[in-house]
């Protein structure tokens, strides 16, 4: 499989406080990869390091062969990495259409049809202001806004935060279509069962280190994962 994102020996810090150590990670073309782990493990920090929002160092941090080290947030967006942050951060007073169009601003893409195809609900609500939408609909807009830049990788932080399981499922069901259309997905998810069922591969992060990684199906069946994250055994 062709790799899009490749990371070797990444560490990250806030000021002097180190929060990630020796992280190795890759994401393949059209692949869905999940990142799971307890609160405070460093999942958000890893996404922030990859999108240039947290200070990091690495032996390799490259995207489609381009070195990401030292690039600004904007330059990383321009190489094709979208980041859907924890908490979604939409403009609540703007409509769905305008929130989506802001996502396509840098790439001059104002055509919302791909997003509406993936999330038909947004098509019905295209003129509604985002502040009045349900949490699930807002998450669809946040992901849609990320896709508007036509990225090769979309990183989604806490997809399920505050959402009912049925809504989470509805959104997660769209991820394979997103990946198949050429945008790989790096998913941070508290719902480990959902995360491992959807992904091809996964990484388990604990206190700033990757402690397990592999095929998602194998991790789902692993007794250590079942005990620590799924309440089984
Ligand atoms: N802006 C910051 N300044 C200083 N320390 C921070 C900052 N953001 C996060 N940290 C610390 O970095 C560590 C990793 O936090 P991070 O938010 O990356 O974890 P997480 O796995 O995303 O957790 P959660 O599941 O709660 O979202 C924690 O110890 C946290 O206190
Ligand atoms: Mg987090």
pLDDT of residue 88: 81
CB of 56 closer than 6 A to ligand 1? Answer: no
Give dist(CA 155, CA 50) in Å, integer: 9
Which ligand has its closest atom nearest to the C-alpha of 50?
1
Ligand 1 closest atom vs CA 37: 21
CB of 144 closer than 6 A to ligand 1? Answer: no
CB of 19 closer than 6 A to ligand 1? Answer: yes
Which ligand has its closest atom nearest to the C-alpha of 35?
1
* Total-model pTM: 0.96
Ligand 1 atom 24 nearest Cα: 39
Structure-token match 């295209």, residue found:
126
CB atoms within 10 A of CB 70: 9
Ligand 1 closest atom vs CA 86: 27
Torsion of CA 99, 102, 103, 107, to 10 degrees: 160
pLDDT of residue 70: 93
Ligand 1 atom 27 nearest Cα: 39
Q: Does domain 1-80+174-233 have CATH number 3.40.50.300?
A: yes
Report, as ranges of residue numbers, the positions in the chain whose pLDDT lies below 70.
1, 233
Per-residue pLDDT tens digits for 44-80: 999 999 999 999 999 999 999 999 999 999 999 999 9
Ranges of each domain in the chain: 1-80+174-233
């Amino acid at each position: 499989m062709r790799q899009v994102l490749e990371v070797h020996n990444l560490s990250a810090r806030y000021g002097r406080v180190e929060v990630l150590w020796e992280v190795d990670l890759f994401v393949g073309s059209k692949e869905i990869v999940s990142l799971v782990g307890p609160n405070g493990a460093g999942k958000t920090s890893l996404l922030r390091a990859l999108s240039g929002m947290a200070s990091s160092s690495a032996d390799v941090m490259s995207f489609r062969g381009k070195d990401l080290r030292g690039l600004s947030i904007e330059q990383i967006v321009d190489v094709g990495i979208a980041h859907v942050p924890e908490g979604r951060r939409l403009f609540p007073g703007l409509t769905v259409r305008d929130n989506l169009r802001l996502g396509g601003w840098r790439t001059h893409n104002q055509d919302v049809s791909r997003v509406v195809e993936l999330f038909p609900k947004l098509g019905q609500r295209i003129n509604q202001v985002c502040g009045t939408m349900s949490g699930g609909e807002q998450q669809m807009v946040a992901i849609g806004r990320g896709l508007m830049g036509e990225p090769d990788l979309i990183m989604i932080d806490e997809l399920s935060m505050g959402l009912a399981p049925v809504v989470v499922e509805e959104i997660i069901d769209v991820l394979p279509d997103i990946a198949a259309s050429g945008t790989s997905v790096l998913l941070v998810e508290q719902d480990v069962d959902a995360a491992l069922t959807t992904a091809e591969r996964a990484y388990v992060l604990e206190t700033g280190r990757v402690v397990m990684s592999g095929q998602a199906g194998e991790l789902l069946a692993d007794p250590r994962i079942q005990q620590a994250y799924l309440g089984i055994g």
